Chains A and B, each alone.
Chain A
Amino acid sequence: MQMPTLDSLLQRCASGDQTAFSSLYDELIGSVFGLAKRVLRDPAQAEEVAHDVMLEVWQKSHQFDADRGSAKGWIATITRRRAIDAVRSEQSRRNRDGRQGVNDVVPGSGDPVGDVVSDREDRDRVRTALDHLTDLQRQAIDLAYFGGLTYREVAERLDVPLGTIKTRMRDGLKRLSTVMDHL
């Protein structure tokens, strides 16, 4: 029996098929939750975001267009955007309170100095794969993907020309693609 693809499961959600949604959920919730957690760090907030992401996936399933991308990619984008928005709201709220907030730390990126808890599985595994990239490629991708910065914001933050950032991102992703082929 052939396993239904994620794309077809998502399409079935559009007609109200909760069984299909349940399967889709089981397949992807690990990545959704894990990504949210990498961006937000706090598992409770990550859980809230993951909950909202999955509801949005259900609500907007009719908007998914298989010609323009994969179900997984579509869901990954929703997850990233919600997680990054959540971090930004949290930071704005802290700034409004006049809290002595940590200088706007880009969520999910960088190595927290003196972290009591040892590296989480997700950070290590991503780091292992990203180890194959140069430091500069890894940094550009990390800031964009997990930090939610646009490439222009990355260039500004690192004080590096736009063309350089675009090249680092491209070369980094190409290298990651090669690494994956060898896994």
Chain B
Amino acid sequence: MNGELHELVAPYALDALDLAERESFERHLSACQRCQQELEELSLAAGALFDLTAEPAPARLKERVMADLSPDPGKVSPLRRTRASFINWAIAGVAAAVALIVGFAVLTPPTEAERAEAILASAQSVEVGLDGLDGRVVRSEDEAVFVGSGLTALAGDRTYQLWYIGEEGPVSAGIFRPDATGNATVLLHGTAAEGLVVGLTEEPAGGSDQPTGEVLATAEL
């Protein structure tokens, strides 16, 4: 019904229409100025949801992406066998039963929370105390977990950021905000190694490429 189409601006802005409704709304949209105006405003708001979730992506990702670019867009180029391709391949049932079974371990990476718990619980993990703050860093081989308490609450436009500091300087290991009690348990992104120093700074929301805030705490692995 035409009257109801006007009501679909918000769901459209949120991409919450199925294919059929989306197509009929788009047809309506091209002829309806009122909807176009409303969509402009609501799209900006929906766009904010995209901006607000931003966080630093691993540097290696860019290397992979740039290397995988085909010289001319629009031309099909064989994608490197990434893990995602492997998942699709396996789901297609082409993989032999054995490969499928072996693949399970690869296909279900644990969540960060599970990894952090596992590291904290492991008898093999090595613990070092934090300098400057209540807490510790617990390392298991090439992964580490930061556990801190008494962290000051932050304004909405600020974040805490962890760093691995080695010979080449600080590398971001992730950003986080403490919970309501000032505690945080954070799995560091990247590779832990003996000799690296873990650092904590306060940065603008979204994190920084290099530390801009003063170092609040350190721990030498």
Contact = CB atoms under 8 A, between A and B. Distances in A.
Given A62-B74, A144-B11, A51 B52 contact: no
A119 B186 CA distance: 9
Interface string A34-45: 110110011111
A21 B205 contact: no
A37 B116 CA distance: 17
Chain A contact residues (Cβ within 8 angstroms of B): what range?
Answer: 35 or more
Interface in B1-25: 7-11, 13-18, 21
Which one of B21, B54, B62, B79 has the highest number of Cβ atoms from chain A below 10 Å of its Cβ?
Answer: B54
B185 A116 contact: yes
Contacts of B11: 144, 150-151, 166, 169
Contacts, number: 221
Contacts of B17: 150-151
A60 B18 CA distance: 22
A176 B43 contact: no
* Interface class of chain A by DSSP: helix
B61 A51 contact: yes
Interface of A: 13-14, 16, 18, 21-22, 25-26, 29-35, 37-38, 41-45, 47-52, 54-55, 58-62, 69-70, 72-73, 76-77, 79-81, 86, 89, 92-93, 112, 115-122, 124-126, 128-129, 141, 144-146, 149-152, 154, 163, 166, 169-170, 172-174, 176-177, 180
